[in-house]
Amino acid sequence: MKAGLAKTQNSLVGRVDSLLRGRTVIDDEVIEDLEEILITADLGMQTTMQLISALEKRRGRGQLDTPDQLRNALKEELEAMLQLDSKSFDVDGKGAPYVIIVVGVNGVGKTTTIGKLANQLTRQGKKVVLGAGDTFRAAAAEQLSIWGERTGVDVIRHQEGADPGAVAFDAAKAAVARQADVLILDTAGRLHTKVNLMEELKKLRRILEREIPGAPHQTLLVLDATTGQNALNQAKLFNEAVDIDGIALTKLDGTAKGGIVVAIAAELKLPVRFVGVGEQIDDLRPFDASMFVEALFEK
């Protein structure tokens, strides 16, 4: 995690440490400079104002007099923002199969995330079925099938251009018939501005619910960390359309914009479930707020 966050650590905590170096008191100028660092580290204006307000309250109580106190306070406030009380991601005990629908725009690493998640669940002893619901993008089903072979799971697919609803229906039937523990359904890389595609997502949810009561149990939005504030905008639009339960944030190792994790949690109250910190099959990690903040602040 620390290696994957190296660029974010430099752009956020590294600059905070540079700001505090040689300081003996925390005055208005330090707080102003800190505000600028937080905004440019992709925490965004709203989240930054929230953090600064919390820090100012501590300063008013005389709890923010030294650089060490400020550093520790920032660490505590960031961790508090990330500790969300949310619907758990637990595939056990829900009545099989547990259904995960995966959404997101093209190019964010959606299919790869599904493959890595399938690998993780299979290694936990779960029987997984994948549904290739992205029937619009050339080779999307092919790509998912390759992941199916790599991880040893069944993939339900139709011809390119087929009705995604038919794929969802067949995938649900197959998951029940094969007594799968988990069904993961891929969806087309929707441009979040296309209303008709968002409507189609709602249709997929209705089909799944009809076939498997309570489904989908988890709607996971995949976002590319390197896009920073644009990822936050995507999350807002998807959440308005289909009620997102959690986020998988990819390419965290390739960006200095990891602060977006905090912005998503603070502004949208959406938990980050998984983070991608590398190219390997095991590099999709369950997100742990304490570990994330520790990795950022570790000297």
Q: What is the pLDDT of residues 241-298, one digit of tens each?
A: 888 999 999 998 888 888 999 999 999 999 999 999 888 888 898 999 999 999 999 9
Sheet holding 218-224, edge to edge: 154-156, 128-133, 182-187, 98-103, 218-224, 246-250, 272-276, 284-286
Average pLDDT for 42-47? 92
pLDDT at 87: 65
Average pLDDT for 208-229? 93
- pTM, two decimals, is 0.92
Collapsing DSSP states into helix, strand and coil, what is residue 245?
coil
Whether residues 14 and 128 fall in one domain = no
Q: pLDDT tier at 101 (50, 70, 90 boundaries)?
A: very high
- Per the CB < 8 A criterion, the answer to whether 131 and 156 are in contact is yes
Whether residues 11 and 63 fall in one domain = yes
Give Cβ neighbours of residue 32 (< 8 Å, ≥ 6 apart): none
Alpha helices in the chain (DSSP H): 6-9, 15-20, 28-38, 44-60, 67-82, 110-123, 140-151, 164-177, 195-211, 229-242, 260-268, 289-297
Distance CA 223, CA 251 (A): 9
Kindly list the distances between the CA atom of residue 8 and the CA atoms of 28, 292, 296, in Å, as whole numbers in the listed order.
25, 11, 8
pLDDT at 163: 93
Whether residues 293 and 187 fall in one domain = yes
- Token reading at 164: 């995604």
Average pLDDT for 72-76? 97
Range of the domain at 24: 6-82
Strands 128-133 and 272-276: unpaired
Listed residues 53, 82, 111: the one ending a domain: 82
Distance CA 193, CA 190 (A): 8
Structure confidence by residue, pLDDT tens digits, 179-202: 999 999 999 886 655 667 778 888
- Per the CB < 8 A criterion, the answer to whether 114 and 165 are in contact is no
pLDDT at 50: 96
Q: Is residue 206 part of a domain?
A: yes
Q: Is residue 131 part of a domain?
A: yes
61 pLDDT above the threshold of 80 = yes
Whether residues 25 and 58 fall in one domain = yes
Which contiguous run of DSSP H or E holds residue 247?
Answer: strand 246-250
> 92 or 264: whose pLDDT is higher?
264
- How many other β-carbons are positioned within 10 Å of the β-carbon of residue 60? 9
The domain total for the chain is 2
Whether residues 152 and 211 fall in one domain = yes
Q: Is residue 92 part of a domain?
A: no
Q: Which of 162, 155, 201 is nearest to 180 (CA)?
A: 155
Q: Is residue 93 part of a domain?
A: no
Give Cβ neighbours of residue 227 (< 8 Å, ≥ 6 apart): 234, 257
Q: Is residue 90 part of a domain?
A: no
Q: Which of 233, 226, 242 is nearest to 103 (CA)?
A: 242
At position 112, the amino acid (one-letter code) is T
Listed residues 48, 82, 116: the one ending a domain: 82
Whether residues 158 and 239 fall in one domain = yes
Whether residues 143 and 277 fall in one domain = yes
Which contiguous run of DSSP H or E holds residue 285?
Answer: strand 284-286
Q: Is residue 89 part of a domain?
A: no
Whether residues 135 and 282 fall in one domain = yes
Q: pLDDT tier at 60 (50, 70, 90 boundaries)?
A: very high
Return the bridge partners of 103, or none. 221
Listed residues 82, 107, 141: the one ending a domain: 82
At position 206, the amino acid (one-letter code) is R
Whether residues 258 and 139 fall in one domain = yes
Tokens 């603070």, residue? 266
Whether residues 110 and 74 fall in one domain = no
Which contiguous run of DSSP H or E holds residue 133?
Answer: strand 128-133
CATH number at residue 47: 1.20.120.140
Distance CA 4, CA 292 (A): 10
